[in-house]
Amino acid sequence: MRRREFDDLSMDSPEKKRSPNRARPYTLTGGRTRARIELPIEAAVEAMVSSGELDWTPGDVRTVIVRLCRGRQSIAEISSYAGLPIGVTRVLVGDLVESGHLRVHATLTDRSTISERRRLIERTLDGLRAI
């Protein structure tokens, strides 16, 4: 299978996923298994910097995550498109949030209203129907 360039990825074409990363997950997270911040699987994440401002090599998983987040992806979507386990994705996204590269948008909490919960369910169903 030919390795595809990241810029070809889009939400409309899930068949263009990156090939899975061959590095052991614990090497990517420095052995950490939990993010320092809470990141629900449905949390939307947005890039705060352009990919031109990054100092990492183009194939670095952090670069991939930041580029994915230009389109405001959820933790689950980042995990899927980057070919990473969800736990590793949470740790790396948490690191990138703390370093100012990414921002997490609010999701539901214990104090969320029924209306907010209903809108999340409707958005989820809309997304599933679009697949």
Contact 66, 46 (CB under 8 A): no
CA 121 – CA 131 distance, rounded (Å): 16
- Give the rounded percent of residues in the chain with a pLDDT score beyond 90: 17
Q: pTM value?
A: 0.66
Query: Could you read off the pLDDT of 26-73 as tens digits, one per residue?
Result: 667 666 767 778 888 888 999 997 656 778 877 788 888 998 998 888
C-alpha dihedral, 47 to 105 to 126 to 109, nearest 10°: 160
Q: Measuring CA to CA, which residue among 45, 35, 86 is closest to residue 68? A: 45
103 pLDDT more than 80: yes
Distance, in Å, from the CA atom of 93 to the CA atom of 61, rounded to the nearest integer, reads 10
